[in-house]
Amino acid sequence: MPIADTAAPKSAATEEFFLTRLGRLLKARGVTTLEEAERFLYPSYDEHLHDPFLLHDMDKAIATLTAALSGGERIAIFSDYDCDGIPGGVILHDLFKAIAYDNFQNYIPHRHFEGFGLNFGAIDTLKSDNVSLIITVDCGIADSKVIAYAYERGLKVIVTDHHEPPPDLPRAEALVNPKLGHYPFPEICGSAVAFKLAQALLSTGRLAVPPGGEKWWLDMVGLATIADMVPLTGENRVLAHFGLKVLRRARRPGLRALYSQHRLSPSHLSEDDVGFTIAPRLNAASRLCAPKEAFSLLTTISVVEAKEQAERLEKLNRERKAAVAQITRELHERLKLFEEEPSVLVFGNPSWRPSLLGLAAGKLADEYRRPVFLWGRDGNGLIKGSCRAGGQVSVLALMQTAPHLFLEYGGHHFSGGFSVRAESIHALGKELQLAYLRLGPATLAAADHAVDETLTLEEVDETLRLDLRRLSPFGIGNPKPIFAFNNVAPARLERFGRDKEHLKLVFETARGELEAVAFFTKPEAFSVTPEVGTPLTMLAHVEESYFAYRQRLRLRIVDLRQRAS
Ligand SMILES: [Mn+2]
């Protein structure tokens, strides 16, 4: 259903379309021609995905893989332990099962003791398992030393990864990475690269699965694309769109078990359900050293096992929450010892697991609205940590101001990770405070509360719902629209949740009640504190909620401000 003839040059149709609300929202997302708009609104699997053979070394990878398959060699799929690597490992597992090739194994490293990427011990293990070919997923591009060691021991390696290639590239059979060569969309995630490998192999047409048979594995690509925080534009938008479609079909017993456990309606599954409910459960497994649990959940074909596996994951997730709560409690205690809260919060404890600190830092940053740096020690004795911005101060800018403190660091304005030399750890707090003072307003990341449209509460209707559905899935690169509601007065104000940690404002409109919610937020956290009957300006997202299988539209509060005069 094209919106207009794509061949038409800039015309009246173009201008008319960009005057509609949907057109204006698209324009704000950098879409300026009808052709781009059509691509955005109607993703096509056959036309909008790039040829897998455009990826660097894909032909070599397929030649090596084909030879290994016909030689009956033992193959290991070595995938990262996060919610990108694991789904990617699942894709290649499903590929080999589908073509009835049994001489393979999946290997997922232990996050705490092995850490990220290939490692020497794993190569020894795989060697003793008689593996002769390793295919990496979502890691490997930075592991030239370990890969050289694998070759010394007589193993071959195909690297599939999407991380930034270092200057010193590994010598391997093939380096499949969208950031090498001239791939048209370098931002795809690790699972998408694995998917492309599967797609390329099936496209040779000599296997039991016909070309196109890979579409069932798009659920894993969608899951990883949403969880790995890659921009949801270009090819990623297409992958997330079709990925969600397959996720909604819920063919895997493990997904069905997860959905029913969380009362998610499969046919209405959203990117938020994936990002906030599904992915954290899968990630909890590796944070607590049991990545195989997540892998088994996604690969099992037994309904009974899926249910047990989902329960085990939920137990791990509870343990993860308890461990994070324990850390935040300890930090609250330590903060009481300060006369004045420092402008950058820096804390550590060698007994904390670094894998849990991003979550704890996030909680603290939300609460204190300032940068938070937390560190712990991993299984190899390395001091590692996570940071979160909280306010508008960029944690990346802070780290860049004091690079000498870190062994390694990286991230974005709002979140990052780092490792520290043992001798620098005591200076970390003081130096980051100094960096903060030195930088002043330069640390500020751009405020991101740009209002898309001003609406009345009555305009939150079916038409708006359909426009938003067209624009979704939302994420980085395609932010949820922010709407301003001027001069609205809440009729009721409620705190809800087990510890009354969430906030709800109820508005009465000509079309009935409309709820606006903010999770884990106190009324005082906004620019103005809401009061019943007092008009204010509300900035909010409009969401479709299917919680507990009940469909409704509701607002998600971004900020509450003084009523515009
Ligand atoms: Mn990744």
Tell me how far apart the alpha carbons of residues 264 and 331 are, in angstroms, rounded to a whole number.
34
Give, as one character, the DSSP assignment of residue 421. Answer: -
Cα radius of gyration rounded to whole Å, the chain:
25
Mean pLDDT over each residue of the chain, to the nearest integer: 91
Q: Which helix (H) or strand (E) holds 431?
A: helix 428-439
Ligand 1 centre and the CA of 230: distance in Å? 9
Ligand 1 centre and the CA of 76: distance in Å? 19
State residue 529's pLDDT score: 94
Mean pLDDT calculated for residue range 15-23: 91
Cβ neighbours around 103 below 10 Å, total: 15
Q: Specify whether the backbone of 179 is left (phi greater than 0), alpha (psi in -120 to 50) or beta.
A: alpha
Tell me how far apart the alpha carbons of residues 132 and 173 are, in angstroms, rounded to a whole number.
12
What is the percentage of the chain residues whose pLDDT exceeds 70?
96
Ligand 1 centre and the CA of 412: distance in Å? 15
Ligand 1 centre and the CA of 134: distance in Å? 18
CB within 8 Å of 215: residues ≥ 6 apart: 45, 242, 246
| Amino acid in position 352 | W
State residue 441's pLDDT score: 61
CA distances from 303 to 221, 258, 339 (A): 22, 11, 56
Tens of pLDDT along 201-230?
A: 999 887 888 778 899 999 999 999 999 888
State residue 205's pLDDT score: 81
Tell me how far apart the alpha carbons of residues 151 and 118 are, in angstroms, rounded to a whole number.
13
CB within 8 Å of 248: residues ≥ 6 apart: 266, 267, 268, 269
| Amino acid in position 388 | R
| Amino acid in position 416 | G
Tens of pLDDT along 426-471?
A: 899 999 998 888 877 655 555 556 899 999 999 999 999 999 999 9
The C-alpha angle with vertex 512 and arms to 508 and 514, in degrees rounded to 5, equals 60
Query: In this structure, which residues have their CB less than 5 angstroms from ion ligand 1?
Result: 84, 138, 190, 228
Ligand 1 centre and the CA of 138: distance in Å? 5
Ligand 1 centre and the CA of 165: distance in Å? 13
CB of 261 closer than 8 Å to CB of 286: no
Ligand 1 centre and the CA of 320: distance in Å? 21
- Of the pLDDT bands very low, low, confident and very high (cuts 50, 70, 90), residue 1 is very low
State residue 7's pLDDT score: 47
State residue 547's pLDDT score: 66
CB of 370 closer than 8 Å to CB of 393: yes
State residue 97's pLDDT score: 95
Closest CA to 503 of 480, 484, 529, 482: 529
State residue 466's pLDDT score: 92
Closest CA to 286 of 129, 75, 77, 87: 87
Ligand 1 centre and the CA of 558: distance in Å? 29
Ligand 1 centre and the CA of 223: distance in Å? 12
Tens of pLDDT along 232-272?
A: 999 999 999 999 999 999 999 999 999 999 989 899 999 99
Ligand 1 centre and the CA of 498: distance in Å? 34
Q: Is the pLDDT of residue 473 over 90?
A: yes
Low-confidence winner among 25-34, 102-111, 290-299, 433-442 (lowest mean pLDDT): 433-442
Ligand 1 centre and the CA of 85: distance in Å? 6
Tell me how far apart the alpha carbons of residues 126 and 128 are, in angstroms, rounded to a whole number.
5
Tell me how far apart the alpha carbons of residues 139 and 124 are, in angstroms, rounded to a whole number.
18
State residue 228's pLDDT score: 87
Ligand 1 centre and the CA of 11: distance in Å? 42
Ligand 1 centre and the CA of 483: distance in Å? 32
State residue 116's pLDDT score: 85
- Sheet containing strand 483-488, edge to edge, reads 453-455, 483-488, 536-545, 552-562, 512-518, 502-509, 492-496
CB of 374 closer than 8 Å to CB of 350: no
Tell me how far apart the alpha carbons of residues 269 and 222 are, in angstroms, rounded to a whole number.
12
Residues 359, 364, 367, 372, CA torsion sign: negative
Sheet strands (E) in 92-215: 104-107, 133-137, 156-160, 174-176
